[in-house]
Amino acid sequence: MRLLAVCFCVAFVVTAAFAQGDRGAVTGTVSDPAKAIIPNAAVSMRNVETGAQYQTVTTETGNYTLPQLPSGNYELIVESPGFSRYVQTGIRVLIAQTARIDVILQVGSTSESVTVSADAPLLRTEGAEQSHNISTKTIENLPLNFGARGPGSLRNPFTFVETLRAPKSKAGTTSASTARLCAPSAFCSKARI
């Protein structure tokens, strides 16, 4: 029985360690100026700091996804026969986030190139997750009695999360939300607010 408990604990710790990551993703749709999809377009992301390249092709529906990209600054390159080469620089891939970059290829030869210098849009349509980062410095600067509810709760991050407002439903009532607190040491906890 003791061996089973030890094996369970080891499996839990290993699973939790792999659940944390330093990766993000980029997804989008490739189309022409008439909004017709372009299947089998070559899509590649190049990390400008390391030079590493990640490649894929668009699906039959013109969609592409580049998952598991290490966080950093990237350049997106999209090519398809009969269209000008598309290059977008200044793309920032963030940890545990998915950036959506829809591409419109211009009709032309592949020797022509359209270069766009812009960040990925802040609107995330891939999921309803919202995040709010609170630095350690902000928590340390809180008054000592902030949220005090007994011993050990001074400057407790959970009491700080309780001050974040839960979203309002259409009826005007506050809906419950779950907040996830993560420390740099890869320790995460969830709190229902």
- For CA atoms 113, 121, 99, 187, give the dihedral sign: positive
Domain boundaries, the chain: 20-117, 136-192
Digit-by-digit pLDDT tens for the chain (193 residues) are: 676 665 565 565 555 455 557 889 999 999 999 999 999 999 999 999 999 999 999 999 999 999 999 999 999 999 999 999 999 999 999 888 888 999 999 988 766 666 676 655 555 555 666 666 667 777 666 655 545 555 555 555 555 565 555 555 455 554 555 656 565 555 565 555 5
From 131, 119, 111, 64, select the one nearest 89 (Cα to Cα): 119
- What CATH number does the domain located at 20-117 have? 2.60.40.1120
SS3 readout for the chain: CHHHHHHHHHHHHHHHHHHCCCEEEEEEEEECCCCCECCCCEEEEEECCCCCEEEEECCCCCEEEEEEEECEEEEEEEECCCECEEEEEEEEECCCCEEECCEECCECCCCCEEEEECCCCCCCCCCCCCCCCCCHHHHHCCCCCCCCCCCCCCCCHHHHHCCCCCCECCCCCECCCEEEEECCCCCEEEEEC
pTM of the model: 0.55
